[in-house]
Amino acid sequence: MTDATRTPSSAAQGVTQLDVHDRPQKNRALRRFMRHRLAILAVIVLAVIAATSILAPVFAPYPYDKIDLAATAQPPSVAHLFGTDRVGRDILTRTLYGGQVSLLVGMGATAIATLIGTVIGALSGYYRGWVDTVLMRITDTVMTFPSIVIMLTLAALLPRSVWNIVLIIGLLSWPGVARLVRAQFMSLRESEFVMAARCLGVPDRRIIVVHIFPNVLAPMIALITFSVGGAILTEAGLSFLGLGVAPPTPSWGNMLEAARNLDILKNLTWTWFPPAAMTVLTVLCVNFVGDGIRDAIDPRLVL
């Protein structure tokens, strides 16, 4: 988390044109991505993290809210591979389940951001004129107004459920997507195949959805990947301030929150290290993947 300094990532985008019908080029992109060894490794690590989190009920040795007052604050052992917290809950179990929440927040918030951003960007880029002016004013406002401010306000005022956190983060992180989609639309609407479609009297909605949108997908995927990482960090940050997902539902963020207590920080290292390491590792991998995708489709794309 960047302490309110998440730099909007689409500051100066190059515009890519990628025709989805152009098979060889798509394969070339895939080949280029496969060459990015770090990104491949990151995909594998992410797959493992996601699988173990989703299958937490299968892998986890205990229920996540199972307390054991006979085994509180235990360091790692055979019975508890990652040790236990101060009410005797298994840290490994909670880390696995915490992954569910963190990944859900990361992907859920990004999905919302993508949806809003795409609609606004598409309308803005396709119709231009006053629609563009109005929508881009709004986008600029949301983009530059430090979202952490609104987030703190909302998070303090709404009940602390997972879905509220998803909604809050999602509703405030769409401008990047909107700007990217708009830039793509603005250039694609002038392209020959769109002109042709328009001459044939294809309705606007169909042109936007069927003809232009598939071509915007590729650069969007890279940006979306980066924002998953951002959303996970934001959840961790909100949790650190006691505004994230409410315990006892574990999230990496609220497990980390416990480390605000100096005693836990210094002496119960095993309770906060796994979620901290998982947060950093996941976000790192997500960023590597994003980097790999960007390099594969267009290295000049600054995201």
Please report, as ranges, the residues that interact with another protein according to CB under 8 A: 1-5, 7-8, 11-12, 65-67, 69-70, 72, 85-89, 137, 140-141, 144-146, 148-149, 152-154, 156-157, 159-160, 229, 233, 236-237, 240-242, 246-248, 256, 258-267, 276, 279-280, 283-284, 287-288, 291, 299-300, 302
Of 170 and 292, which has the nearer Cβ to another protein? 292
**Considering the complex, what minimum distance in angstroms separates the CB of residue 23 from another protein?**
27
* Residue 137 Cβ vs another protein, minimum distance, rounded to whole Å: 7
Q: Which residue has the tokens 């919302």?
A: 112
Between 77 and 144, whose beta carbon lies closer to another protein?
Answer: 144
- For residues 206 and 260, which CB has a smaller minimum distance to another protein in the complex? 260
CB of 292 to another protein, least distance (A): 12
Give 25's contacts (C-beta < 8 A, 6+ positions apart). 18, 19
Dihedral over Cα of 265, 268, 270, 272: its sign: negative
- With helix as H, strand as E and coil as C, how does 225-249 read? HHHHHHHHHHHHHHHHCCCCCCCCC
Least separation in angstroms between CB 194 and another protein = 28
DSSP 264-286: HHHH-HHHHHHHHHHHHHHHHHH
Q: How many CB atoms lie within 10 A of CB 203?
A: 10
CB of 190 to another protein, least distance (A): 22
> Closest approach of Cβ 301 to another protein, in Å?
9
Q: Which is nearer to another protein, 108 or 176 (CB)?
A: 176
Q: Closer to another protein at the Cβ: 191 or 269?
A: 269
The distance of closest approach from Cβ of residue 226 to another protein in the complex, given in angstroms and rounded to an integer, is: 9
Strand partners, 90: 84
HSE-CB at 184 with a 13 A cutoff on CA atoms is 29
Which is nearer to another protein, 213 or 288 (by Cβ)?
288
User: ω into residue 248 within 30 of 0, thus cis?
Assistant: yes
For residue 142, give the 3-state DSSP assignment: helix
Q: Residues 6 or more apart from 122 whose CB is under 8 A from it? A: 181, 182, 185, 208, 212, 213, 216
Helix, coil or strand: residue 84: strand
Please say which residue, 8 or 76, places its beta carbon nearer to another protein: 8
